Amino acid sequence: MSKVLVTGCAGFIGSHLSQTLLSQGYQVVGVDNFDPFYKREVKEANLNEFKNHPGFTFYELDLCDEATVREKLSIKFDCIIHLAAKAGVRPSIENPQSYIDHNISATRILIDLMKDSGSNKMVYASSSSVYGNMTSTPWNEALDISMPISPYAFTKKSCELLNHTYHHLYNLDFINLRFFTVFGPRQRPDLAINKFTRLLYEKKPIPMFGDGSTARDYTFVHDTVSGIIKAIEYLNQNNGVFENINLGNNTPVKLIDLIHAIAELTGQKLEIEQLPMQPGDANTTYADITKAQNLLGYKPITPLKEGLKAFLDWYLKK
């Protein structure tokens, strides 16, 4: 039975991943620091879905606290899935040092622990934000990503480089998965689909930054989790691995179309408040998923409207 470490296990993607891994027979050690970026009770509700599973062990700790990390986690894991990070492009512009600490420094602490404890496989959660504002689409992993446009993106790119350094020096195996906009049940309250749904039911206008032509490659959370698990399986079957891999849906959706789709599903009256574009935001994200398909057998299967319906069902029940 494989034993894995999932950092950020109480978050949106982390809770779905942990729950799925447990259902597949993995032993899961989960870590979360309940970062105040959004309410603790949201994450506690996520954790309640599986925290009593006999295969699950949980530690509330901050990955920046190196002494505690080493005290609690100095065991050999078959794979480490590192999802924990400070999230959000816009907040990273206001407080870049916090992102450097919790994204870059925390990752360094974790991979030094990995090196010293005999764990040598990691799936790292990177982001489509590393591509910046590239106009050449779809984005593939061979593109030059040396021009990030937010501190958040910079920290994600920095961790990809950090991982490569440790791969080179210590023969540790890494797959950096570049997530494109993930949505579905338990989505963070600050993200567009959750935020827009809440505002519609509160009879408030939806803020639309720009003219609505910006687009995102929305990926349903179960498809993302499937890709993560395929990356774990690939790492466990191979040695000498270092790969950057997109996990997206290969189908950008315009912001204005997303807004109308959510309004139609909720049946609520739509009022849009048009605002200026925000600094650090990309115009379009668009994943080339050829590498994920060929290397991992990754295949996203959830259409946008089906995923939005699953999100809305969860939203109305919580």
DSSP E strand boundaries for 8-147: 27-32, 56-60, 79-82, 121-127
Are 63 and 108 within 8 A, CB to CB? Answer: no
Is 0.85 topped by the overall pTM? yes
Work out the pLDDT band at 136, boundaries 50, 70, 90. confident
Tell me, what amino acid is at 29?
Answer: V
88 Ramachandran zone, left/alpha/beta (phi>0; psi -120 to 50):
left
Are 185 and 253 within 8 A, CB to CB? Answer: no
So which residues are the catalytic ones?
Answer: 152
Q: Residue 266 — φ and ψ, nearest 5°?
A: -75, -25
Between CA 28 and CA 86 the distance in angstroms is: 22
Estimate to the nearest angstrom the gap between the alpha carbon of 179 and the chain centroid: 6
**Mean predicted confidence (pLDDT) in 251-257:** 97
The predicted-structure confidence for 83-125, as pLDDT tens digits, reads as follows 999 998 889 999 999 999 999 999 999 999 999 999 999 999 9
65 pLDDT higher than 90: yes
Between CA 127 and CA 17 the distance in angstroms is: 17
Between CA 230 and CA 156 the distance in angstroms is: 21
205 pLDDT higher than 80: yes
* DSSP code at position 236: H
Give the mean pLDDT of the chain. Answer: 96
Look at the block and give the residue holding tokens 């408040």: 273
Distance between the two ends of the chain, CA-based, in angstroms? 33
**Mean predicted confidence (pLDDT) in 1-11:** 95
Between CA 83 and CA 168 the distance in angstroms is: 22
- On whether the 3-182+220-248+288-300 domain is CATH 3.90.950.10, my answer is no
**Mean predicted confidence (pLDDT) in 153-165:** 98
